[in-house]
Amino acid sequence: MSYFNVGKINYEGAESKNPFSFKFYNPEELVLGKPMKDHCRFAMSYWHTFTYMGNDPFGGATMYRPWDVTEDSVEKAIERVHAAFEFMEKMQIPFFCFHDADIAPRGKTLAETNEILDKIVAVIKEEMKRTGIKCLWGTTNAFGDDKFVHGAGTSCNATVFAYAAAQIKKAMEITKELGGENYVFWGGREGYETLLNTDTGLELDNLARLLKMAVDYAKEINFTGQFLIEPKPKEPTKHQYDFDTATVLAFLRKYDLIDYFKLNIEANHATLAQHTFQHELNQCRINGVLGSVDANQGDPMLGWDTDQFPTNLYDTVLAMYEILLAGGLTKGGLNFDSKVRRGSFEEDDLFLAYIAGMDTFAHGLKVAAALLDDKVLEDFKAKRYASYTEGLGKDIVEGKVGFKELEAYSLEHGVTKNTSGRQEMLEAILNQYIVNVK
Ligand code: XUL
Ligand code: CO
């Protein structure tokens, strides 16, 4: 049984007019000596691709999928698995990411839910074996159900904390079973609406306790996947605890969790925090915690998490530039945490959207590699900071001087002339590379 009328998507080059082809993503092509597919490690998000039906706050479904014809049931979930693997195979997507709630319907009890999960996981495993497609990461949906109204690990209700822990335990076991290379903690409803009723100190201590339990349990079951925290400043709560990279780093350091976690950076979450995507990746890179990426983009006119497919080339160039400088994605990947627009409701749109996203990142990779190869920004920066490589600057960097020595130096020499930062010139060079690199 086939769920899609589209065939396999192949690379046809930048001049192709075939919408169902890659213009820039050529999986085996070497960039800086490594195949593009290993640089990009593209992943499909199970939820946005296979369970999102176009609903928004003003209206219901617009997407009536051929694998969604029956009511929520185990049979439907199994159909979805087959459709998902057909899609990934045709798109040449080597990884997928999932929440427990995406892959299987909930049972009436925790025990029943876990049994259903095991059934679906067995089908996913078969499909993984058949296709060679792997699991990039798993996670828990501990935010959708009404029991999580006040949060999960940060709920005021200890029994909810316990239930979240039980759900995470099972999701970790499933992720291990599927060979998942990472496990993600996105805050969900870990945040608050008003300080009039919230004990932020206890809530944050509890969140750390929950994560510590996850670390301990991973050791117990020998789960070797990388734990990732995904920062987001708002939505669903007014103030999410994992606001941005800097906030998450401070939390991990305070609670001695820094050795066990890296970050999963989502482009639209960065912009909601009034940062650029590149800024968040850069902060991860310089702190050695770049784990993985949720590839999408927001809309500059809208202040919410629109989760659009990434088509802004400037953003992908600068993101891939940071990723290359960080030494690549290693265990991470580029997971399209992106959904087609409500009006793009045909199955073909799923292919066209993923092609757009994959091509934009592939093109971004090529431009970033060329910039690095030519040392365009590196040479400029080296000159800009040259004063720290000798004399006074070197003494500062090496910790050889203090206030007294620096005062003596300043009294005697004053300051040298500053030079231009040349921002406009660098922006024009960036444009030149974007236009010229094919
Ligand atoms: C929510 C979000 C999630 C996480 C996984 O904004 O990005 O889909 O990526 O829970
Ligand atoms: Co995400």
Q: What is the mean pLDDT of residues 171-191?
A: 98
Q: Which amino acid is at 155?
A: S
CA of 186 to the centre of ligand 1 (A): 6
- Band of residue 71 on the pLDDT scale cut at 50, 70, 90: confident
* Span 321-339, pLDDT tens digits: 999 999 999 999 999 999 9
319-322: long-range pairs with CB below 8 Å, 24+: 319/267, 319/277, 319/278, 319/281, 319/293, 319/361, 319/364, 320/39, 320/361, 320/364, 320/365, 320/367, 320/368, 320/369, 321/278, 321/368, 321/371, 321/372, 321/377, 322/278, 322/281, 322/282, 322/285, 322/290
Q: What is the mean pLDDT of residues 400-421?
A: 98
Pocket flag, ligand 1, residue 337 (CB < 6 Å): yes
Q: What is the mean pLDDT of residues 365-378?
A: 98
CA dist 399 and 236 (Å) reads 45
Q: What is the reported pLDDT for 41?
A: 99
Question: ω into residue 236 within 30 of 0, thus cis?
Answer: yes
Residues less than 5 Å from ion ligand 2, measured at CB: 266, 294, 337
CA dist 54 and 64 (Å) reads 9
Query: Strand runs (DSSP E) across 287-369, as ranges?
Result: 290-294, 334-336
Pocket flag, ligand 1, residue 86 (CB < 6 Å): no
Q: What number of CA atoms fall less than 13 Å from residue 117's CA on the CB side? A: 27
- Band of residue 72 on the pLDDT scale cut at 50, 70, 90: confident
Catalytic residue (one of 39, 48, 100, 102): 102
In this structure, the strands spanning 226-230 and 182-186 are: parallel
Active site residue 102: yes
Both tokens assigned to 251: 């939390």
Pocket flag, ligand 1, residue 186 (CB < 6 Å): yes
Q: What number of CA atoms fall less than 13 Å from residue 12's CA on the CB side? A: 12
Sign of CA dihedral 318, 269, 332, 86: negative
CA dist 203 and 355 (Å) reads 42
Active site residue 39: no
- Band of residue 369 on the pLDDT scale cut at 50, 70, 90: very high
Q: What is the reported pLDDT for 69?
A: 72
* CB-count burial class (<10 Å; 0-12, 13-18, 19+) for 366: buried
CA of 273 to the centre of ligand 1 (A): 15
């000159």: which residue's tokens? 383
Q: Whose CA is nearest to atom 8 of ligand 1?
A: 337
Residue 214, pLDDT > 90, answer: yes
Alpha helices of 233-346 — where are they, by DSSP H? 245-254, 267-272, 277-286, 313-325
Q: How many CB atoms lie within 10 A of CB 103?
A: 26
Percent of all residues in the chain with a pLDDT value above 90, rounded to a whole number: 98
Residue 1, pLDDT > 90, answer: no
CA 176 to chain centroid: 19
* Span 234-289, pLDDT tens digits: 999 999 999 999 999 999 999 999 999 999 999 999 999 999 999 999 999 999 99
CA of 246 to the centre of ligand 2 (A): 18
CA dist 347 and 349 (Å) reads 5
């910039």: which residue's tokens? 371
Residue 204 is inside which H or E element, if any?
A: helix 200-221
Strand partners, 296: none
Both tokens assigned to 109: 């009890």
CA dist 392 and 83 (Å) reads 64
Q: What is the reported pLDDT for 70?
A: 73
**Ligand sitting nearest the alpha carbon of 99:** 1
Residue 339, helix vs strand vs coil: coil
* Span 389-399, pLDDT tens digits: 999 999 999 99
Looking at every residue in the chain, the average pLDDT score rounds to 98
Q: What is the reported pLDDT for 45?
A: 98
Are 53 and 347 in contact, with CB atoms under 8 Å apart?
A: no
Q: Which amino acid is at 208?
A: A
Ligand 1 atom closest to 99 (CA): 10
Pocket flag, ligand 1, residue 230 (CB < 6 Å): yes
């950076």: which residue's tokens? 265
Q: Give the CA dihedral 379, 381, 387, 388, nearest 10 degrees.
A: -110
Q: What is the reported pLDDT for 374?
A: 98
